[in-house]
Amino acid sequence: MKNRLSLFVLSAFLCGGLASAQQSMPTQPRIFNTVKQKLAAGKQVVGGTVVIPDPDTYCAMANSGFDFLWIEMQHSPMTYQDVAHMIRACKGAAAMPFIRVPDATEGDIQKAMDIGAVGIVIPMVEDIQKVQNAIKFSHYPPGGKRSLGNGQYGAMWGPDYRQIANDNVMIVAMIESPAGVKIADEIASTPGVDVVFVASTDLGSFSGYKQGEPQYEALVKQIEQSVNRAGKKLAGPLAWKFSRQGYAFFQGPTEASLIKTGAEFDLGGSPKSESRKGVAPTEGAEKP
């Protein structure tokens, strides 16, 4: 009887200890951002660029195979209300919504996050304060100063959104000028920056050099080295997918470009996809 009782007490002690240990173990946050998952697994991701404020077009793009959609709010007349309708209309789509905000202001970033963005693309980074602001306003306390408010983020990503938002948001910092290249080390090493984007067109525009020229390539090389040292992900235009090594995050063509390519193919033509050209197109100079 004593032996049985001892075994019972020991078993209860062990079970209780195991249960206590399980309760004390930290649980892993739920990661719904598939772009973050794929990059962490060493995969490449490609996003289509959205400039047309139309939910049907957005949904066609979001369900076409892209990993994310680069929603262009810096160089388009789209409003946050337009984009909110588009994202909500395609709840459950495979492509994650990334928004290039007009600037890293508290208002722009908070609105982008509230309507369901999981990625913030910061244009024209030429000082670290801009990057720090983007991180601060896209993250809830204690990681940042994003405030609570009305938004459709909960309807998009679940009732536990507040607890997991900081673990899912991604920050993409764009280097578009020689001034940005000079602080590439600081940009890439800033905690909270996930991806550094080499802006091919503007880097040429602001430097005065073209892709392939030694001076241009030296600027690109400097960014690449900074990003690699920091262990962050390197990004660029889709045209660089097969022509340059080490890139993981790519911005693809707009809806209009894809419609044109699709029409040419269906009509018997042999259009070349942007990713096969090797040289990124100059924005604004595309043939109509």
pLDDT at 7 over 60: no
Q: Give mean pLDDT, residues 153-181.
A: 97
pLDDT of residue 19: 47
Q: How many CB atoms lie within 10 A of CB 91?
A: 13
Could you report the per-residue pLDDT of 75-130, keeping only the tens digit for each? Answer: 999 999 999 999 999 999 999 999 999 999 999 999 999 999 999 999 999 999 99
Give the closest residue to 125 by CA, choosing from 213, 236, 203, 207.
203
- For domain 31-276, give its CATH number from 3.40.50.720, 3.20.20.70, 2.60.40.10, 3.20.20.60: 3.20.20.60
> Angle at the Cα of 266 (from 262 to 272), degrees rounded to 5?
50
In angstroms, the CA 187 to CA 177 distance is 13
Beta bridge partners of 96: 68
% of the chain residues with pLDDT over 90: 79
**Cα–Cα separations (whole angstroms), residue 104 to 1, 128, 277:** 73, 11, 32
Residue ranges covered by each domain of the chain: 31-276
Backbone angles phi, psi at 239, to 5 degrees: -60, -20
Smallest CA-to-CA distance from 115 within 170, 157, 144, 62 is with: 157
Contact (CB, 8 A) for 122 and 70: no
Tens of pLDDT, residue by residue over 238-266, are: 999 999 999 999 999 999 999 888 888 88
Q: Is the distance from CB of 236 to CB of 247 less than 8 angstroms? A: yes
Mean local confidence (pLDDT), 226-244: 97
